[in-house]
Structure formats: C-alpha cells, structure tokens
Structure 1
Amino acid sequence: MRIGVILPSVEVQRRDGIDLATAARHAEDAGLDGVWHGDHLAVGTPTVDCMVALTVAATATRSIGIGASVFVPAIRPLVWAAKQVASLQLVSGGRLRLGIGSGGGRAQWAAAGVPFGERGHRTETALRLLPRLIAGDPVTLPDGTDVRLAPGADVPPLWIGNASAAAIDRAARLGDGWFPSLITPAAVGAGRSRLPASATVTIGALAALGDAPGTPSRAELASGIAAAYRHTAHDADQLPITGGTDEAAARVAEYAAHGATHLVAGLSGPDWRAQVDLLAEVRRRCDDVIAVGG
C-alpha cells in the first residue's frame, strides 16, 4: 500500500512555521510515497494554486511522487491545462500523478467563466485529448484548431476523482485509475468491481493520528464529514483514520483488502510534521498487516 500526504494549507503553514518546500522534503525524508495538493480557484479558505504548489514540491525534492488531488482541467482552456501538466511533468522528472476531477462548487466555475452545466462534457473532452496534448502529438481541437505542444512529456497516470457512478464509468473508459475520497471500504470494493483489473484505486482520506493534545477525535472528524459531505452518521464514522499507528494501519489495510492500492491522507492535528512522521510509521506497519493477512 502506497501512502501519500496532502501538503499543508496556507493556514497550517502559518500555524506551524513551515513552507511548502520544507513540508515536501519532510514527507520525503519520512518515507512517504507522495505529496499532493488540491486544485481550488474560489473557496472559503486561502489556497495556493495547485500547479505552483506542486512545482515548489517537485523542485524541493528528489524522488517522492508529486500528485494533484484533484486537477480540474475543465475550468481552464484545454491546451493551457495540457501545457501546465506537461511542464510540471518535465520539472518533476516524470514524478507526476494526475488526479482529474470535474468538481468544485458553482462559485469556482462561475469565477472561471465556465458554465457549471458544461463540466461533464468538458471533462470528457479533456480526458480524451490531454494524453496526446501532453505527449506533444498533433491534436485537432473540437473547434477545428490544430495544435502541437512542445516540448512533450511522458503522460502521467490519469486517476479519475469522485465516487459517483459517472466518475467510475469515466475511470473505466478514459483513465488509468479511480480516485474517490471519503469513501467506505465496502464502497471501494463495489467500485473496484466495475474497473479493469489493471486500474489503480487511490483513496483520499482524512487522518488525525496519535493522542497529542489538540488532536481531533474520531467522533469530531466524523461529525464534520457528515455535515460537510452529506454522509450518513454511520458511513461518516467509518471514514476517519485515527488512533495509534497500529490501529490506523489496520484501517488502511481494510481499504487494501477491498482493492485500494494507494491512500492520500489529509492531516488534521496540532503539528503537521509530527502527523507526517506518524503517517510514515503507519505506512511501514501497514505493509506488515497486509503481509500477515495474506
């Protein structure tokens, strides 16, 4: 099981006295598999542009994976989106993993000047054309314009975000994997059964590890998830990854048993670096739990 971490928000960076470059290096030194950043144009909390944040992380590290969780190409001109992705893939030395979604609230789409109702069609078009644009192949756009980007880059794996039926269908048809967030292990298994055997399944999760003062409890995290994402109380209680490293490793192993191969954790705790260290220990112990379980 490969485990990565969402880079700290602007608020957490200020709280903990850490910048993105230092955070990315800390995650790499701790032994995690990837550092990730979301793609938000208009949200209620301050956020750095996804591609800028990941470029900082890429240039500050040597080998750790660099991931978008998730990139929303449909709010951008398609060729510009492809240029951003190809450039980041080149800068990172081929370490990019590209989660792709069509989400975000209506405010984000309005701010981008893109009709909310076009998100599905624009995302489908992006998934069809991005691989060839990123690779530097000649492409004819839907309006008839011929374009070829240079330099081309290796096409990163495209992991389709969201747990909806439409997203699973897109992952099966147009992606290399599926990337749902805040989803129960049983729902992971149900979605996995609809994907090709070769597909990667990556889970976005919320974690608060250990028992340091100020660490949110499982109940507190579950309550927040239920309120923000309209999960039932029963489902929300299954979603947070909390407790000591053995308990958390067992929870991650449960996702692995239902077909997940990667997990990307957003951390909710009083000290981001300490949480990363605990998450890295969970990764090591998870391998043992999975091995014992067969």
Structure 2
Amino acid sequence: MHIGIGLPIGDPTALLDWARRADAGPFSTLGLLDRFVYDNPEPLVALAVLAGATSRIRVQTEVLLAPLRDTALLAKQAATVDRMTGGRLVLGLGIGGRHDDHRATGVDIRTRGRRLDEQMRVLRRLWAGEPYGEGVGPIGPLPARPGGPEVLFGGFKPVALERVARWGDGFLAAAPPSWAGGLFDAVRHFWHEYGREGEPRIVAQINVALGPEALIDEARAAMHDYYAFTGTADRMAAGMLTTPVEIRDAITGFADLGADEVMLYCYGLDPAQVDRLADVL
C-alpha cells in the first residue's frame, strides 16, 4: 500500500517545505486540488515547482478540471512536466461542477463531460507523437512515459467510472471505505468489459488533520469554505479524520478493498503534519 500527501492550498509559499518533508519520508505522491475561481495555486505550475525541489516523489493533480483548459496546451504542459521529472507526473482529471469556474473560462458546463472525452482523444494522440490535425504537426515534447503520463479519473456517476476503462489508467476515489467498495467494483467491471489488460490502479483519498485542536479547527474551516458550494460542507468537514487510530483504520479499510494507494489530504497549513503522519504510518 502506497501513501501520498494531499497538499493544503491556503499558502502556496509553504508548499516547498511540505514537498521536501514528504520526499524525505515514506510518502509516494504529492497531490494538489484544482479550482479556477478560488484563492488556490494553479496545480500544474505549482507541481512543476515542487517536482524541481524533490527527487523521487510523484506529483499528482487531484483532480485537474481538464474541460476548463485548452487541450493542445494541456497536452504540452503535462508532457513537459512528465518529461522533465522522469515520469513522475500523475494526471488526475475530472469535469468540475462550479458554474463560476466555467463562466470565467468560457466553457459551457452542460457539455463538460463530452468535452473531456474529446480532449482525451486528442491528448492520447499528441502524447503518442502524432500530428494535431490537418495541416498541423505534432506538439512536443514526448512525455517520459510512453503514451503519456498516468491518467486517473475522479467521479461517482457511471459515465465517469466507465471513462476510466475507455481512456484512463486508474480511478481516484474521494469516498470513505464504507461506500467506496461499490465504486471500485464498478470501475473494475467496466475495465474488464472493455477488454483492458491487468487491473485499474485504485487511488483513495481521505481528509485528515493531525495536531493540536487549533490546527484541526483551521483545517475544518478551510475544508468547509472549499466545499461550501456543494451544500454538504458541514458533513464533509465533520468527517475529517483527526486521530492516528482513525487514520490507520481508514487506510486498513481501503487496503481490504484492494486500493493501491491512499492520499491523506490535508487542509491545515502546518507542514509538521507531514512528520506526524509519517509517525502514524
């Protein structure tokens, strides 16, 4: 079982400290959320900086809202980060659900799922070194990983779970162990239905805060603000895991379900949480 760290977004200047601590510890991956109309760092830019400050740990978008971005530029950016990090980029992708993000980027929210599918056709073609289209050649560089960086899809609806089998390498599950098993089973069903070899990589996410009560309060407030638009922020913040026992039990629960990796997502800003979480492991 691999364990990653999901980075807080409240203070971009602190993330180098987080990344270096995680790189020196037992962690496999650094993850970063994406929003457009919000006070958060742009994930591909931020992760490129963090990758340059580390030597082995993977960097993962969690999830990047691909429909908000120009497809050709996204292909080039992702391939550049993947190539320059020696294949350490994991591209977690999703469609997003905020109207303000879509208005700010001029994207019709009603077509975001179809747009992502079309983007994947283009991304896979460009990452393979093929021309962009009629009269337009390839867009380099080629990524370090043949066929492009590893792609995970997040989501809950059947069309999102099926997308893993059609275009992806795995599934990013932001759901507790109590109901993630059904999502995992559905992803695996689609995977085999499409005749894919092997198994999809399953990455789970849990929200954690480990430290004094003030840090926990800060983390819950940050998480509540981030998810206020969903109408379920109270429940989500209340479900944050705040003790070593809770965190270990959740990791064990996901291991029992066959997850390959668990991302411990942090909202509190204290980078010493990296060391506390390392002690829990």
**2:95 match: secondary structure:** coil
* 1:152 has 2:142 as partner: yes
Question: What letter corresponds to residue 155 of structure 2 in structure 1?
Answer: N
Structure 1 alignment gaps of length 5 or more: 285-294
Task: Tell me the number of residue pairs that the alignment of Structure 1 and Structure 2 aligns.
Answer: 265
How high is the TM-score relative to the length of structure 1?
Answer: 0.80
Correspondence for 1:280 among 270, 278, 281: 278
Question: What letter corresponds to residue 276 of structure 1 in structure 2?
Answer: V
The separation in 2 between residues aligned to 1:252 and 1:278, in whole angstroms, is: 15
**1:160 match: secondary structure:** strand
**Structure 1 equivalent of residue 4 of structure 2:** 4
- Listed one character per residue, the Cα deviations across residues 2-29 of structure 1 (whole Å, up to 9, x for unaligned) are 12112232x345xxxx533232111111
**Structure 2 equivalent of residue 186 of structure 1:** 178
**1:39 match: secondary structure:** coil
The separation in 1 between residues aligned to 2:214 and 2:94, in whole angstroms, is: 33
Alpha-carbon distance change, 126 to 230 in structure 1, aligned in 2, over 3 angstroms: same
**1:167 match: secondary structure:** helix
**Structure 1 equivalent of residue 208 of structure 2:** 207
Deviation at 1:69, TM superposition (A): 0.8
Correspondence for 2:29 among 34, 51, 67: 34
Deviation at 1:206, TM superposition (A): 0.9
Question: What letter corresponds to residue 265 of structure 2 in structure 1?
Answer: G
- Listed one character per residue, the Cα deviations across residues 32-65 of structure 1 (whole Å, up to 9, x for unaligned) are 111121222212xx11111110110110000001
The separation in 2 between residues aligned to 1:20 and 1:232, in whole angstroms, is: 25
8 Å CA contact 1:66–1:92 kept in 2: the answer is no
**Structure 2 equivalent of residue 69 of structure 1:** 62
Question: What letter corresponds to residue 96 of structure 1 in structure 2?
Answer: L
**Structure 2 equivalent of residue 243 of structure 1:** 243
8 Å CA contact 1:8–1:272 kept in 2: the answer is no
Deviation at 1:250, TM superposition (A): 1.6
- Listed one character per residue, the Cα deviations across residues 61-118 of structure 1 (whole Å, up to 9, x for unaligned) are 0000111111122112211110111011112121001101111411111111111112
The separation in 2 between residues aligned to 1:177 and 1:247, in whole angstroms, is: 26
Correspondence for 2:79 among 75, 86, 105: 86
The separation in 1 between residues aligned to 2:44 and 2:74, in whole angstroms, is: 10
Q: Percent identity?
A: 28
**1:31 match: secondary structure:** coil
**Structure 1 equivalent of residue 266 of structure 2:** 267
The separation in 1 between residues aligned to 2:239 and 2:181, in whole angstroms, is: 15
The separation in 2 between residues aligned to 1:28 and 1:130, in whole angstroms, is: 29
The separation in 2 between residues aligned to 1:184 and 1:213, in whole angstroms, is: 23
Question: What letter corresponds to residue 31 of structure 2 in structure 1?
Answer: W
The separation in 1 between residues aligned to 2:131 and 2:171, in whole angstroms, is: 27
Kindly report the root-mean-square deviation, in angstroms, between the aligned alpha carbons of the 2 structures.
2.6
